[in-house]
Amino acid sequence: MSEEDLKAELAKLKAENEALRKSSASGVSLKVSQKGALSLYGMGRFPVTLYKEQWLKILEMADGIRNFISENNSQLKEKQ
C-alpha cells in the first residue's frame, strides 16, 4: 500500500471510530436479529426484540402511553 492509501484508510477508520463512539454514547441501539426482528439494546440487561408490525403497533400507541404515564405517575417508579 502506498502512503496515500494508508492515510486514506486511517482517515476512514477514524471516522468509523467516531461514529461508533457517538452511537454508544446514547447507550441505545437497534439491530436486526437473525430471525428478522428488530432488537432494541440499552434499555436493560437484555434487548427488547419484536417484529416490525409489533413495533409499529407500539409506535401508534405513543400518545396513549404518554397519557397513561402522566395519569399514573404517582404509582410508577423510576429506575435509578
Residue 50 makes CB contacts below 8 A (sequence gap 6+) with: 37, 38, 58
Residue 37 pLDDT:
98
pTM over 0.85: no
Whether 39 and 48 have beta carbons less than 8 Å apart is answered as yes
pLDDT tens readout for residues 37-62 = 999 998 888 999 999 999 999 999 99
- Compute how many other C-beta atoms are within 10 angstroms of the C-beta atom of residue 15: 10
Closest to 55 (Cα-Cα) out of 76, 78, 36: 36
* Average pLDDT score over residue span 28-36: 93
SS3 percent helix, strand, coil of the chain, rounded to 5, is: 55, 15, 30
